[in-house]
Chains A and B, each alone.
Chain A
Amino acid sequence: MFDETDKINKMSSFYFERFKVIQGNIANVNTPFYKPKDLKFEEVFRNHVPMKLTNPKHINPEGSEDIKITSFENGYITGYDQNKVNLEEEMAKLAESSIMYKTLVEVMKKEMAKMKYAISGK
């Protein structure tokens, strides 16, 4: 019964966590030697599509982690302080995460309304 809400819950918490990581990148826009961090998305749905290991040669879906952190270096020119944060990119990601989060909350509200309708019948 709660499968849908569970999925939405996982996705929205992913975007919430990603938002916080990006906030950290923006806070450190003037910190020397800082490298921006980001969260990977693909890992989120791994739990919902369980893969069977029938042969030891099969690739094992590693761990049960929902979200993976990645630290990346991009090819942008860094200043003398070796800071690799690209502010425009981070602001874009910030907007993206927040819009996705708000959308998922709307979807969650719809899910809840549906459930309420099913329970009360009106």
Chain B
Amino acid sequence: MIFKGLEVSVSGMQAERVRIDLSASNLANINSTKAEDGQPYRRKVPVFEAVLDSQSKNIPVYKVKVKEIQTDPSPFKLKFDPNNPDADQNGYVRLPNVDPVREMVDMMSAMRSYEANLTAFNTHKDMILKSLEIIRV
């Protein structure tokens, strides 16, 4: 199928966008001491999976899929802030396990991967349009 390559790049772009969305949500909740379960917010990370898309003429083409969204089990950060209403009896507040530097790096990496997929998409589009020129002779 001629448009399969476009779908592959689109799946890559979608996956990278999920990554950017999750990074944004992690950053937005960097100070959320109470999530829906009463615990501080936990960092979310997507898990990608390669999915065999088509196998015509023994040529496997792999799409990418977001398999699941996992929660980072690393420990919460502790901050001494006795006046905070969420502080425990020792005066410590538990903050989400989100590291802003890490999230920014993740976001940059996702952005670059997105752009790489976009380049592949545009090049493929050009190639398809180019092959139309054959009938214009």
Q: Which residues of A contact B (CB under 8 A)?
A: 12, 16-17, 19-32, 34, 37, 39, 65-69, 87, 90-91, 94-95, 98, 101-102, 105, 108-109, 112-113, 116
Contact = CB atoms under 8 A, between A and B. Distances in A.
Nearest to A5: B134
A31 B64 contact: yes
Interface of B: 4-5, 8-9, 11-12, 15-16, 19, 47-50, 53, 57-64, 109-110, 113, 116-117, 119-120, 123-124, 126-127, 130-131, 133-134, 136-137
B4 A67 contact: no
A17 B8 CA distance: 13
A23 B124 contact: yes
Given A27-B64, A98-B126, A105 B9 contact: no
Q: Tell me the interface secondary structure of chain A in the complex.
A: helix
Contacts, number: 117
B113 A30 contact: yes
Given A17-B59, A20-B61, A37-B60, A26 B9 contact: yes
Contacts of B57: 17, 65-67
Contacts of A20: 4-5, 8, 59, 61, 124
Contacts of A98: 123-124, 126-127
Nearest to A66: B57
Given A17-B57, A37-B62, A98-B123, A109 B133 contact: yes
A27 B15 contact: yes
